[in-house]
Structure 1
């Protein structure tokens, strides 16, 4: 029997526990209703100034797939056409692996599928305008035409002698890619890396190594450094970069009190606030650039069947934010009002 491909990102950690079967059911919630799913340490982590940002359901995008037994939405990113593009990590061959959502009409359509990729992130390049996808299972970065199709392999092969498990990606202004490499996740070992790939796909350099399953990656608001999260350490670190993309310093910036939840993808708004997705809890933690907990994004009280809020995209030039949420009830899109406007870094990487 052929061994199935490696399961992507946090799916590896919870595959045995998740048997996804529809979007969350929920009852009406008042503004002062208690936040559901509070994790250990959440009150202390939030501090007295933190508040709840209540998200509302937009639509269900996917149901669990019979072939994989689950669905997991990721990588929301806005295209120049105004559409919100989303990937389904565990979609089997023939099922939509990339979808385009019209958030105003609340409709979606498939834009890409294949018999190979396990795509965990999506970003549009500022250099060539193509949609770039990270294929966790095969260690590749591929790209599509803006509306889907014309699949090309952008990068494949080893980086410093080892293949990547690319999770999330971010672009600098010049179109160079910064990739969170979750190598070592399935073994529970700190072999992960942050990798920079030039925009031609020819040169790959390790910016940070010996990381515990790095996941989210995003530039700060000024493009002076990179935020990245480590799934199995529940921490967010900061890499200061020079004007050539080389690291000048690195430090642990935020320790997330997630309890059973783990740090997933990251997005940054125009004011530099971080939106940290949580795998294992249908919520997001919001911090300012100095690590102060500002808010928690929560689903309506009573929502059931949704277990992870993996990623978010904030409307460019606006504050409406769209978060991908998945669990036994399927893959859903929820919306809330962010603390500041969206920019390129507000497409969660």
Structure 2
């Protein structure tokens, strides 16, 4: 079976697409392609053939990449085209119509809700338009793959073959051994944006009297937000141990996670998509034996509380965040136990090996 992944907006080495789905499929299928935005064609060290088209200039630049993707994909002649966005799935639908290929729609985002945010004045109208557009397309899929129960239930209303593949982490062959900093260390990993709770963490740090270290691993996503944080630190946190690493190689991230006692997952509550998400960052902390300070949203709470892997807080309340930091910093042994609890839970219930078998079974039914 020849397989071709289609993506209009994800990187070739996207964690879900490449390191989870493709490497799982490589265990049974040799002939795998990715058609994705990039600078040049190449073959990965795993033998996956990459075909590239120029990246889109902005979110409005949609039709030219779709045309490029179709022109490349039709030359591959795949048995299955596996698409990761509504745009790329529209290409897959055309390929099915013209060549009789099987097609998969892999929906890992709340696309109608996300796209409508570009049109704040008519957000509700646009959300309905995109929802109906996605519905018409998705009915033509041979299989729909998605990441949580909310999306599974949405698609099951009009499609009989819907597979749940959460974004669980891949278990490593070698488990991470912690090398804790001597003082309580709190970490955030990811893009630094206000809606990720970064500013709230800084405001909480001002309320903390315990000697703690704070590490922010990742790039600021705007200069204006960087300036806002720098100004707050200058005026309020000169006596705090705060490190911003900037963008660093993926392998270096684990050097910082090794030292951390707890990690922040503080998506802000103003966005419906955030409130109804299972952030991959949550599982990535857990798999590295790092206790969690998470938003008190239903999906996060349902993972953190039963597993005893951390604490949930009101993510827009510096006082609530500060209370959790104080609790964890003042009882390091309990915090380490939370980290161990999280690791054990991921190892048992929240890892990619559980999803891999479902993915391979879904493909076997498309032969």
State the TM-score bracket (shorter-chain normalisation): under 0.3
- Name the structure with the higher helix share: 2
Q: Which has the higher strand share?
A: 1
Whose RCO is larger (CA < 8 A, sep 6+)?
1
Bigger Rg, which one? 2
Q: TM-score, normalised by structure 2?
A: 0.25
- TM-score of the superposed pair, with normalisation by structure 1: 0.26
